[in-house]
Amino acid sequence: MSETKIDQLVFFVNGKKIVEKNVEPEMTLLQYLRTTLHLPGTKLGCAEGGCGACTVMVSKYDRAQDKIIHYSVNACLAPVCSMHGLAVITVEGIGSTKTRLHPVQERIAKSHGSQCGFCTPGIVMSMYTLLRNNPLPSMVEMESAFEGNLCRCTGYRPILEGFKSFTKEACCGKGANCCRNNFATGEADPNANSGEASSLFNHHDFAPFDPSQEPIFPPELQMSSKLDDQSLMFTGERVTWYRPVTLDELLILKDKHPTARLVIGNSEVGVEVKFKNMHYPVIIAPTHIPELLTVQCTDNGITFGASTTLTKMEEVLREAVEQKPEHQTRVFAAIIEMLRWFAGHQIRNVAAVGGNIITASPISDLNPLFMAAGCTLRLASKDVGFRTVPFDHTFFLGYRKTVLTPSEVLISIHIPYMKPDEYFYGYKQANRRDDDIAIVNAGIRVLFETHNNTVKEMAMSFGGMAPTTVMALKTAKQVVGRKWEDNLVADVCDLLADDLPLDPDAPGGMIEYRRTLTTSFFFKFYLSVQSRLQENKQVHEHCVPASCRSAIPVFHRDPSKSSQLYEEVAPGQPTDDAVGRVVTHMSAGQQASGEAVYCDDMPTIQGELYLALVTSTRTHAKILNIDPSDALEIPGVEAFLCHKDVPGDSNSTGPVIFDEEVFASEEVLCQGYVIGAVVADTQAHAQRAAKAVKIEYEDLPTVVTIEDAIAAEAFMPPSRTMNVGDVETGFSDSDHIIEGEMRVGGQEHFYLETQATIAVPKSENGEMELFCSTQNPSKAQMLVAKALGVPANRIVCRVKRMGGGFGGKETRFTTLLLPVAIAAHKLNRPVRCMLDRDEDMVITGMRHPFLGRYKVGFSHDGVIKALELNLYMNAGYSMDLSFSVMERALFHLDNCYKIPNLKVKSNICKTNLPSNTAFRGFGGPQGMMINESWVTDIAVTLGISQQQVREINMYKEGDVTHFNQKLVQCNIKRCWDEVLRKSSFMQRRAEVDLFNSENRWKKRGLAVIPTKFGIAFTAKFMNQGGALVHVYTDGSVLLAHGGCEMGQGLHTKMIQVASRVLRIPTSRIHISETSTNTVPNTMPTAASASSDLNGMAVVNACQTILERLEPFIVANPKGTWDDWVRAAYFDRVSLSSTGFHRTPDIGYDWDKNEGNPFNYFTFGAACSEVEIDCLTGDHQVLRTDIVMDVGSSLNPAIDIGQIEGGFIQGYGLFTLELVKFSPDGFLFTQGPGSYKIPGFGDIPVEFNVSLLKGSLNKRAVYSSKAIGEPPLFLASSIFFAIKDAISSARVDAGIHGTFRLDSPATSERIRMSCTDQFTKQFPPAEPGTYKPWFVHV
């Protein structure tokens, strides 16, 4: 082993050389960038490489290829030690609003692809890296670049649309006839009506992209291999990091440290250390050992060194597929296909093939392929030397255990070529296609006797079916000698059932689904091979039926396309009048360049401390003892706080009623319940100490699910009821009565910026300044004042912007805010905390799960006569906003349909879950979803179209709702008719029916859904807004209002409103922040009403200013704005004004069922088409058309962005986002690895949005309408399209009539609803005979 080890880290960041002596090995590149280099543009979104917010570009000089390689990485996982000899480029390094935005930054900003902006730097860097490697990519390559990036706001469409300008498809090379000349030019779409526009940006406004102008690679790294050749050793507080450069050195280190972990990409170990509390004192990075990096093509296959990255492996295999005979590379093709769905590029660029093997994950995507292919592995150790072992059923000894001895290292894997009569396919099913872990995966290989269809050899390997990757040995043995004919399928399915058993309580759950997938995969394999045998003329009988052929092809997605139609401003509207115009989000440039400051981006304050919460690991228990002594011994720890440290008698708290505690005093009510907090000098020390606090519990009975609460009668009072008409008479007048129930699952907010707070105590009078990521600064002010025992006028809460909110930061932010404020108060020092993603998901609650039990009466032609409904919601451990959420669900249980007789009872279930809270839609989507479920059942029961049932019951102008509000300017039918026309619904209905008649295992579905969403806070007092306008003597205007910016473009819209009133350009108006010392007593930025309330207040304040300026305008009519302002100033006229607005004619009496709970309604309709794979449950959204009534849009780009973003968030709610709790109440879905929101590849292939033309709304500012929440429910059109497709599959299986499909329609629910011979093979175990792994709460 080398005598000299270097302990000095050398690398480059944005062209600047960084030299760091004895860097901390546990520090990630992200932490180093943000805390040491003070480059906060790169964000922390998840710390597990699942969201892409931390993406940066790393460059290195590959001496073997003599070229510079650029690749994207997750800075949250990459150890800073691993950057030695590399060059890092962050978002700050490519452009700035202060100098020049890079074209990537400019285009995402100008195409409206940045809303909250927290994800934007990561997306920018993914695109930038792609362009550095390929200056003119295809659309497919561009969309693939974002497989590892998530966005919760935009719906992805505008990002792809903006970046499309970089692709080949946007430049066809036809000169004057180039498609670029017709791309986003602002010319009217031929499908648009007169007065409608179809472009939200103009590509001619983009700065040209010149690849030659990018920063150069540091010459020092290219000219010398010195840094590459150095052995490294970095020693930190708890960990020593080694980077050997020879195999001998590696083997000696592994012999000396047999428990050391080998790390290449840190995608596994980084997660284990961060989230599983694993500690590895010695880390070895075998990234520079030639033997582990070698790729060698031999006569019988290709050998890959264990440190070969997955990206490199894919490149080599693709080259082989292009150059070698097709039969030889069949396993290579399967690996390439599997890598499409293996994490994102950021992970594949650094993760090594050896790491994938040795981590021994039972759901590894590649190990089943390697095992079925008959690969071999070469191992080495210091004492034994080299040995070769087969990668088969003998390799894995148990969960995460292999045949390697502690001192052994994997050197390489050999992947063999296939023979002409050999076929190989791989399969994977996950909840989401892109970047998701498998539920079940498989590799299957068959070898036939020469030139016939008799099986000579077979190998079948499965992941997700046992604690290890397993091989179906008995099945494979029994198949040998059999003919490849249809009768083989049933026999193999029976054999697989015996070979791959799963207990009903097996980890992971979904037992029947997983077992069904194994046989479904084989059936796909059988069809694929049979088809190939036919092509090769090896069989002449048992041909694959035409109806089955659609089950064979691998998944394909066409490049995305879209359209946006909106009404142009009236001719003659003054140029400076911005209302109704497309205006880019005011902060988009700063967000794209990383300059936009979020809470945790703020520079540290002198003396600042970091707080970490100590939370319950039990779901319901008495606290017997709290012992922080071990925590207080950790270096850097300043204090431990608990309920005894809350000043006075202020430990009780809550957003509406004080039924919560800041710190648990005697009892914990859920997992994640805050017990205490540790304050230390750094985040690492605080979090380590928080885990060291010892707590003794005495467990108490738990209530987890709605059914648990019903059984225990665990309900929170009061219970709202609604009675309209005479339900009994309605049922007696009905020709048909059906009963059923539907569950709508919860949904995690997954704002990209987690909860974050900084509390800064002042030196006098008990004053404190709060910087908080909240939608509700006034609530923050009041609750902190209560907790500290001071008047509210001593507390100032300031909000610059949030990285997303969606309701999750309306109340639950106080769970973090109050401990931080109390710590700052007690220690008299600034205190900061930003929750990690897993903490945020465990602690802060989610959208309320609902259960609806209904009884519906209707006539023979589908007219609704009566509804009886019991609504249950899972509120969690406290009330929070649950009462109001239930009220809105009751107001929306009709959706768009007249229900003459109705009886509804609501039940708020108290459970031992984190308190559930506001989420976009606020109970409305749950109420409407249950409604549409029974509306669908009516159509199925009568055998008529769902369209007919919806139309015959649809509200009309002047109708009265079940809460007695008259519908005025009711545009439901207009939206409905227009979406039917624009989507060519009738033609496509016929096409879908034809497709389904010709295909057995792929089915398509089509559905149209309307929506009606009430706009207002249902609590009357909350319908108020305030504003403050300052005009300075240079003519610039500073505007403040009561709303908070969280990506929805509120500040932009308010500037547009002020621009119209003051008759000045938007460039003269600025909004700095939202603060309680500028506009007091504000309402939360919620209920979609912020533009309405604050916009009218802005109008009020600006009109006051204009009235004061009027005499000066009259006196100098040819003067300018600046002239009039200066004249007023010198005449001692106030140039500051407050504004206020309260919504008139609003308020509802529950006892009398009278009044107007809503100011008005926003309407819309959507048509969606899907295709499902009946054998796996996978689905793809082929097309969505939306028509939305937004009144007269204040800003079409922002409104369309809200429609698309809300729709995709709703798509997640109704199809992908399954929250999993254990039966004891422990949350399993704690990050993007286990909880899947929609990604770039999930949006509709064709996505068309139109704003209803000619709609006016006298009830809101400048005839606009609220748009934040209403579009979300339209995503249920995808859910019901899926249900439509499932119905076709069931009919083919001879099953007719209604069936229950709960939300979300996950791949499991889709597959198991497509009842067939494979699902029938695995009936569910009897409830009560086992304890399920997870439950639906």
Q: Region of 1031 please: left (phi>0), alpha (psi -120 to 50) or beta.
A: beta
CA distance 189 to 700: 64
CA distance 898 to 891: 13
For 354-469, list the strands marked E by DSSP.
376-381, 385-390, 396-398, 401-402, 409-416, 422-430, 438-448, 455-463
Which amino acid is present at 820? V
End-to-end CA, the chain: 57
108 in Cβ contact with 120 (< 8 Å)? yes
Place of tokens 């590894």: 364
CA distance 68 to 75: 20
369 in Cβ contact with 334 (< 8 Å)? yes
Q: Region of 40 please: left (phi>0), alpha (psi -120 to 50) or beta.
A: alpha
CA distance 80 to 92: 18
The overall longest dimension of the chain from CA atoms, in Å, is: 103
CA distance 687 to 670: 20
CA distance 1313 to 1289: 9
Q: Is 1269 a catalytic residue?
A: yes
Query: What DSSP assignment string belongs to 434-455?
Result: TT--EEEEEEEEEEESTTSSBE
Q: How do 831-834 and 261-262 pair as beta strands? A: unpaired
Write out the H or E segment, with its range, that includes residue 527.
helix 511-535
For residue 934, which of 980, 1014, 866, 1003 has the smallest C-alpha distance? 866
Task: Kindly tell me the burial class for residue 1224, based on how many C-beta atoms sit within 10 Å of its own C-beta (0-12, 13-18, 19 or more).
Answer: middle
CB atoms within 10 A of CB 497: 17
Write out the H or E segment, with its range, that includes residue 1248.
strand 1246-1251
CA 336 to chain centre: 26
Residues with Cβ within 8 Å of residue 16, at least 6 apart in sequence: none
Helix (H, G, I), strand (E, B) or coil at 675: strand
Task: Kindly tell me the burial class for residue 1148, based on how many C-beta atoms sit within 10 Å of its own C-beta (0-12, 13-18, 19 or more).
Answer: buried
CA distance 369 to 46: 30
CA distance 101 to 118: 17
For residue 832, which of 755, 775, 904, 885 has the smallest C-alpha distance? 755
CA distance 1003 to 15: 53
Query: What DSSP assignment string belongs to 784-816?
Result: HHHHHTS-GGGEEEEES--S--TTTTSSTTHHH
For residue 849, which of 871, 879, 873, 878 has the smallest C-alpha distance? 873
Out of 512, 567, 810, 1269, pick the active-site residue: 1269
CA distance 403 to 397: 7
1164 in Cβ contact with 1010 (< 8 Å)? yes
Write out the H or E segment, with its range, that includes residue 941.
helix 924-942
Q: Residues, the chain, total? A: 1337
Burial 604-637 (b: 16+ CB within 10 A, else e): eeeebbbbbbbbbebbbbebeebebeebbebebb
895 in Cβ contact with 962 (< 8 Å)? no
CA 456 to chain centre: 47
Catalytically active residues are 1269
